[in-house]
Amino acid sequence: MRAHAVQIVARFERDLAALVEVSSPSGDVAGFEACARLAAALAPGAASVERPPCSSPNHAPDLILRLRGEGRARVLLLGHLDTVHQHDHHRPLSRAGERLLGSGSVDMKGGDVFALAVLRALAARREEFAEVALLLVGDEEWRAAPFVHVERFADWDACLCFEAGELAAGEEAVVVKRKGAGTVRVMAFGRAAHSGSAPDRGANALLALGSAARVVAARHDPAGPDRLTAVPTVLRSGNAFNVVPDAGELLCDVRADRLEAIDAVAGAVPREVDGVRLETEVLRRWPPMDSRTATARLLARAGEAAGRRIAASGRGGASDASHFAPAIALTVDGLGPRGGAAHSPGEHVLVESLQPRAEIALAMTLAALDGGSSPAAGSEPGA
């Protein structure tokens, strides 16, 4: 395991640079196809290549790299190749001291590099598994449609997702709890009028959406029972400086331990404000994930293999692991390298994290294949 981890670290920067070099914002077909070709080239030669349809329309097909073996276990490795960075803001990989900076480096092309390395390591251990598959999707950063891949893998033994790792109280940690996530969209339908000569004849969609944004923000309660965060994030309205806006759109990012709490935020938005009609919907519903109890024994076994305690942690951000967790009890996320500033120009991977995180990724995979993943009787949640 440690020998493989050393190999992962030795080639990590080169492999990450190749993936980050390609600008691949969600929905960009050419960018995903280029990343898919690179991923297939970095996979073991024995891996078969499948291109199932993406969950989102007008996207390139997703990518599955599959190894078949002679054992019993079936383990899914999971990642995404799309980023939030648009082409004009894309940054190729560069090194600044102990940081590897680049668009999508930590969210989550660094994790993809780890997942591909784990697949290569397993190619020489075919007797230990029946199947290992790496699913890489192209729409994780923005998907409003239902996720289509769960049924295909629903009866598999474990799902290991390679989003960024983290520390918990100074210990290396993996993610076994996530909030549910929803995107609340409010559409406004008002009435245009000249803003100088007849402003009161209009019904201002911008002001109505501002009122809706305040309603959403008032529900923000991260310390409450549902750990609800409700944040207005995008407001679009108006086409000219001298016209009362007659239409507009508000987007809000809402996260909570229960999807019902997200629905309640959408339900609190009024249907009309000062003559402006408001239509509210939840565009993007991602389920919460809580695999703390189910994975307690798996984390303990992986910690033994890695020679360190692996802490169980939670995270507010959404992940495709959340879709698999209801169908695959042994779902663990956060197996990628550590870093920071995701979704921003300073996004980076921490070089110091590579060796311990590579060891944890390998140890977690081996523990899942070894049958050490059954929940311990009476085990308690670890986060």
Q: Is 31 helix (H, G, I), strand (E, B) or coil?
A: helix
Distance, CA of 134 to CA of 132 (rounded, Å): 7
Tokens of 364: 């977690």
| Beta-ladder partners of 254 | 182, 230
How many CA atoms does the CB half-sphere of 73 hold within 13 Å?
24
166 with 108: CB under 8 angstroms? no
User: Bridge-partner residues for 181, per DSSP?
Assistant: 255, 286
pLDDT of residue 316: 85
Q: Is the pLDDT of residue 380 over 80?
A: no
Q: How far is CA 269 from each of CA 211, 221, 259, 275, 283, rounded to the nearest angstrom?
A: 9, 16, 17, 15, 15
What is the predicted pLDDT for the residue at 317? 80
Distance between CA atoms of residues 260 and 268, nearest Å: 12
- Please check the confidence at residue 239 and state whether its pLDDT lies above 50: yes
DSSP string across 341-376:
-TTSTT-EEEGGGHHHHHHHHHHHHHHHHTTTTSPP
pLDDT tens per residue, range 189-235: 999 999 999 999 999 999 999 999 999 999 999 999 999 999 999 99
What's phi and psi for 322, nearest 5 deg? -60, -30
pLDDT tens per residue, range 23-60: 999 999 999 999 999 999 999 999 999 999 999 999 99
The per-residue pLDDT for 198 is 97
Q: How many CB atoms lie within 10 A of CB 132?
A: 30
What's the CA gap between 370 and 270, in Å, rounded?
54
Mean pLDDT of 115-135: 96
CA distance 296 to 258: 22
pLDDT at 174: 98
The strand ranges marked E within the chain are 48-50, 63-68, 74-80, 94-96, 99-101, 131-137, 158-161, 166-168, 171-178, 180-189, 229-237, 247-256, 272-273, 276-286, 289-290, 311-315, 331-332, 339-340, 348-350
Mean pLDDT of the chain: 95
Q: Does the pLDDT of residue 382 top 50, yes or no?
A: no
Q: How far apart are CA 327 and CA 324, in angstroms?
A: 5
Confidence of residue 375 (pLDDT cuts 50, 70, 90): very low
pLDDT for position 1: 83
Say if CB 122 and CB 132 are below 8 A apart. Answer: yes
Confidence (pLDDT) at 2 = 86
Question: Rounded to whole angstroms, how far apart are CA atoms 45 and 213?
Answer: 52
Q: What is the pLDDT of residues 294-336, one digit of tens each?
A: 999 999 999 999 999 999 999 988 899 999 999 999 999 999 9
Q: Is 322 helix (H, G, I), strand (E, B) or coil?
A: helix
200: tokens are 């009161």
**Which domains, from first to last, does the chain contain?**
2-179+288-369 (3.40.630.10), 180-285 (3.30.70.360)
Q: How far apart are CA 230 and CA 262, in angstroms?
A: 8
pLDDT at residue 268, as a whole number: 98
> Which pLDDT score, from 0 to 100, does residue 371 have?
65
Q: Does the pLDDT of residue 381 top 50, yes or no?
A: no
> Is the CB of residue 381 less than 8 Å from the CB of residue 296?
yes
Are 286 and 322 contacting, i.e. CB atoms less than 8 angstroms apart? Answer: yes
**In the prediction, which pLDDT does 318 show?**
85
Q: What is the pLDDT of residues 142-158, one digit of tens each?
A: 998 999 999 999 999 99
Closest C-alpha to 284, from 144, 122, 102: 144
Tell me: pLDDT of 377 over 70: no
Question: Which pLDDT score is estimated for 296?
Answer: 97
Output the pTM of the full model. 0.90
pLDDT tens-place string over residues 349-365: 999 999 999 999 999 99
Which of 282, 189, 183, 179 is closest to 233 using CA atoms? 183
Give every CB contact of residue 342 below 8 A, 6+ residues apart in sequence: 106, 107, 164
Q: At 383, is the pLDDT very low, low, confident or very high (cuts 50, 70, 90)?
A: very low
Q: Say whether pLDDT at 376 is over 90.
A: no
Q: Is the pLDDT of residue 292 over 90?
A: yes
How far, in Å, CA of 189 to CA of 209, rounded? 10
